[in-house]
Structure 1
């Protein structure tokens, strides 16, 4: 006898299971990301009322975790998930209790899915969907499926049929001032469906659905970075880094547009007909590969170039960075010793996982599994050291979140410091080799990287200025954003 799927919990907004998932999701997001900032487009997301959310899906578990942890007003998100997950003991009960709705991809009979979806929207709920249907490892999103569009139109049509006043049918949803909203790319600008859109759906359903799916995909693209291939993405990233610095120098709310503008500048369709642009793209890719081979960053190359580092300065920098890190090692070493099995297991998971989009999921799952016995042993040993007293047990239990917070507060900055020490050593070794004459190759590689960066910087500036004069909107945006068209900057580029 086939196991029946549990009925999703839709009406209970105070679901204990979902509350627990919120805490777990916030913990996972806090552990995995350095900083999280939520940016919403106008109008702001309402605290109540039906919402359909479309989000890209580059990570299997972290994507829903981010939505659960950061959705405005802590509203409960009802996800669509594959029906086979609901047939797994315990997992199916958890998903159903959390309000997740099953999608049957085998028989393609999703009458119950749309029934539950419309019921959820009728109760003013939030339906969160990943229209691509699966996670992926690509520089661009996958084609969007039409399920979300069908659900939208069916819900609006159902609302019209329930209306007792025929005049209200043209307004579609009186509760939302005559329009229905999608939140695109998690918290992007909303798409609105009008009465005219609904009439088109009633007349020709499939074309209307396809058109709405295209609008949803375009809306998601406005809030995400999409590149036709990896080479274009890497070239655009290096150009952005060379021109504007790392993500700390580009405002988070501008990051997507700045990155996407560079991608459009170096798009294959434009580069293939422009020899100069094609050469610049090729050299940016060469610079990208050079940095990876040397295990340096643009900042290391820039620092070497601007300060004209001598061997004495390189040695002083190495000594300074190493001393700064060494002073803090005693404060940080205990937490490293305690947590090193978690990092080792994460490294193993990353090495053996074939799908990049599943790496974060594996790390989180394995870390949770290992953390239970690891921190359980720590609690026991501390309790034993105190003497198995009740106060000792309470102190041991309270010690765990304090230790976790202490570790997470320090790990990122100290990791950056360790990378700076390594970069300082590489630069110092390159200069030392040229002075001693034992091996001049490291110095030549560093000098070649500096010259390549200078060439890319100068020609990227010039390309943006020239394209902006020709009316290219992406180049004009980048020139205006970086203030490249200032008098002094323009004089420098005219001399090139």
Structure 2
């Protein structure tokens, strides 16, 4: 996995940096690759709000916390601070307790309906005010607060309803900064992108964007005695501005069917350009995939307004092409050439085996599977049972896995030590080193698990390569027909998109480049 070097603010408390370092290890273990772009656009000084959408549970704040170069302050439901360990961690991270209306005590039985409603409304306003003031004070002191304005995590390919609390927080922090004679806070939009968010060893992209440029009517510091109606209108306008910005930052689509078709179009055009250039498409980074998707999305919505009938016809053709390709269990680039049966990793394994490591590696992989497979299956079962939605699976796997796998390695070590003691009792000539045996097996279990994951990936790639080659030889006519249809589709799509200003640029071999 490629993860940027540590960027934790050196001015942050030592324990904060230690916790962030531990979270980086967790992120490193869960994701195969985390790519970060746009970090240079974050101001070196000042303070502000970091806003993003919320598609992946606690993984979202985990990525923001570990990749943002400044100290981050979060808000969390105040009830979470009551848990001993979690409360300790939240306090040391500088998390601000959030008091929600639903947390206020209710005495509806003692009051009539109207009085109870008024009391709850007053409690809600007071709770919101306390939460807003606490976070605003932290921001005004020079921190950044990470917020997910949707309020809840979800599985949709688009934003859910944006709440206005962040806008009120921004203006309250701006008031406090103005009172101290300091510059106003900034709003930094962040795009969080996952290729398969619920999958272990998947990829993620964190895209930091330039601070939001506010129009003159919003770039103001409200007076303390400002007219409430004017304040509400300004808050609503800022909420709408951030919502439209986030919609572009996260590349929101109307539904998953359209999202998947856009991904198919991206892969199709990429493969066709590579075929025309007689180039190997190779592996793409998640940054390139996200940028390529942004081009397709921008083109689709622009052309849907100007050429709705042509876009609808092209969409039907892409749907048919996609269905045929799925029926053959092929990808777009499989139409041009069969995948190599000898991947670089497999070649390395074969070379190592040829020079004698075959005596060590297979037993190590067996140890890795034997010790870690039951835990992995248990973790998958826990995630499926405990996750109400797909967005919860990664959170459960990450948090529970941080406990289960180390516990498994320790348990394996204890088991090895006990077995060693039994063997020593049976065979006194055997050196009595139970601690060494336990530590050795625990380390081998951890190392073997990591190698087993890599070995399983290589085995899957080889198996897929064999299947694709068999399909290409048996269904040659169908493959050629799809190649022709892909070329026609790409020609029609590119002709229709001629003249559009799209993000990024395209190289001759189909690679999508920034700029």
TM-score, length basis structure 2: 0.71
Aligned ranges for residues 145-160 of structure 1 at < 5 Å?
145-160=163-178
2:189 corresponds to: 184
Task: Name the CA shift for 1:393/1:458 in 2 (closer, same or farther; >3 Å).
Answer: farther
| Alignment correspondent of 2:194 | none
Q: Could you tell me whether the CA contact under 8 Å between 2:416 and 2:441 is conserved in 1? A: no
Secondary structure at the counterpart of residue 336 of structure 2 = helix
Structure 1 match to 2:137? 119
Counterpart of 2:13 in structure 1 is 14
Structure 1 CA distance for aligned equivalents of residues 285 and 468 of structure 2: 30
SS in 1 for 2:50: strand
* Structure 2, gaps ≥5 residues long: 1-10, 103-122, 192-207, 272-279, 425-430, 511-515
Residue in structure 2 matched with residue 481 of structure 1 by the alignment: 506
Deviation at 1:356, TM superposition (A): 0.7
1:360 maps to 2:390: no
How far did residue 122 of structure 1 move?
3.0
Match of 2:506, SS state, is helix
Q: Does 1:143 align with 2:148?
A: no
How far does the alpha carbon of each residue in 1:122-164 deviate from its partner, in whole angstroms, 9 at most, with x for none? Answer: 321221111111111011122321111111111112232344x
Q: 99-108 or 132-141, which moves further after superposition? A: 99-108
The corresponding residue for 1:438 is none
Hey, what does 1:301 align to over in structure 2?
335
Q: State how far apart, in whole Å, the 2-side matches of 1:279 and 1:208 are.
A: 42
| 1:78–1:100 contact (8 Å) kept in structure 2 | yes
d(CA) in 1 for partners of 2:138 and 2:342?
60
1:50 to 19, 22, 47: 47
Q: Structure 2 CA distance, aligned partners of 1:248 and 1:262?
A: 20
Report deviation, 1:341.
1.9
Residues 1:421 and 2:462 aligned together: yes
Asked if 2 retains the 8 angstrom alpha-carbon contact of 1:283 and 1:456, the reply is no
Q: Aligned Cα RMSD in Å?
A: 3.9
Structure 1 position 119, deviation (Å): 2.1
Distance in 2 (CA, whole Å) between partners of 1:380 and 1:401 is 12
Query: What is the CA distance between 1:233 and its match in structure 2?
Result: 1.0
String of CA shifts for 1:440-468, please: whole Å, max 9, x gaps: xxx44x74355235313431233223321
Once the two structures are superposed, the pairs formed by residues 54-133 of structure 1 within 5 Å of their partners are: 54-72=51-69, 75-88=70-83, 90-103=85-98, 104-106=100-102, 107-108=123-124, 109-133=127-151
Partner of 1:411 in structure 2? 453
Change (3 A) 1:100 1:303: same
SS in 2 for 1:189: coil
Does the C-alpha gap of structure 1 residues 110 and 271 become closer, same or farther in structure 2, counting only changes over 3 Å?
closer
| Cα distance between partner residues in 2 of 1:122 and 1:147 | 17
Separation of aligned partners in 2, 1:426 and 1:265: 35
Match of 1:30 in 2: 28
Residue-pair matches, total? 430
Take 2:440 and 2:150, find their aligned partners in 1: how far apart are those partners?
Answer: 43
Q: Does 1:206 align with 2:248?
A: no
Q: Would the alpha carbon gap of residues 454 and 415 (structure 1) be closer, same or farther in structure 2, given more than 3 Å must change?
A: farther
Cα drift, residue 90 of structure 1: 4.2
3-state DSSP of counterpart to 1:53:
strand
Give unmatched runs, 5+ long, in structure 1: 1-11, 164-172, 308-315, 433-442, 486-496
The counterpart of 1:464, out of the listed 490, 494, 498, is 494
Following TM superposition, by how much is the alpha carbon of 1:23 offset from its aligned partner in structure 2, in angstroms?
3.2
Aligned-pair distance for 1:322? Answer: 8.9
Pick aligned residue for 2:411 from 377, 392, 398: 377
Supply the distance in 1 between the matched residues of 2:298 and 2:393 (Cα, whole angstroms). 29
Report deviation, 1:214: 2.7
1:363 is displaced (CA, Å) by 1.5
Q: Secondary structure at 2:496's aligned position in 1?
A: helix
SS in 1 for 2:61: helix
Report if aligned partners of 2:175, 2:221 keep a CA contact under 8 Å in 1: no
Show the counterpart of 1:452.
482
TM-superposition CA deviations, 1:89-125 (whole Å, max 9, x none): 5433432332222321425322221221122123212
CA distance in 2, matches of 1:349, 1:294: 33
Question: Distance in 2 between the 1:98 and 1:404 partners?
Answer: 29
Listed one character per residue, the Cα deviations across residues 389-417 of structure 1 (whole Å, up to 9, x for unaligned) are: 998647855875675456436634x3442
**Alpha carbons 1:81, 1:102 under 8 Å: kept:** yes
Question: Structure 1 residues 96 and 325 mapped into 2: Cα distance closer, same or farther (>3 Å)?
Answer: same
Higher relative contact order (CA 8 A, sep 6+): 2
Q: Tell me, what secondary structure is at the counterpart of 1:36? A: strand
> Would the aligned equivalents of 1:345 and 1:366 in 2 still touch at CA under 8 Å?
no
Describe the shift of the 1:274–1:401 C-alpha distance in structure 2 as closer, same or farther (beyond 3 A): farther
1:191 to partner: Cα distance: 1.6
* Cα distance, 1:159–1:363 mapped onto 2, change above 3 Å: closer
SS at match of 1:128: strand
Q: Distance in 2 between matches of 1:50 and 1:269?
A: 39
1:256 equivalent in structure 2: 290
More helix by proportion, 1 or 2?
Answer: 1
| Aligned equivalent of 2:381 | 348
Once residues 472 and 489 of structure 2 are traced to their aligned partners in structure 1, the CA distance between those partners, rounded to angstroms, is: 28
Do the aligned partners of residues 459 and 116 (structure 1) sit closer, same or farther apart at CA in structure 2, a change above 3 Å counting? same
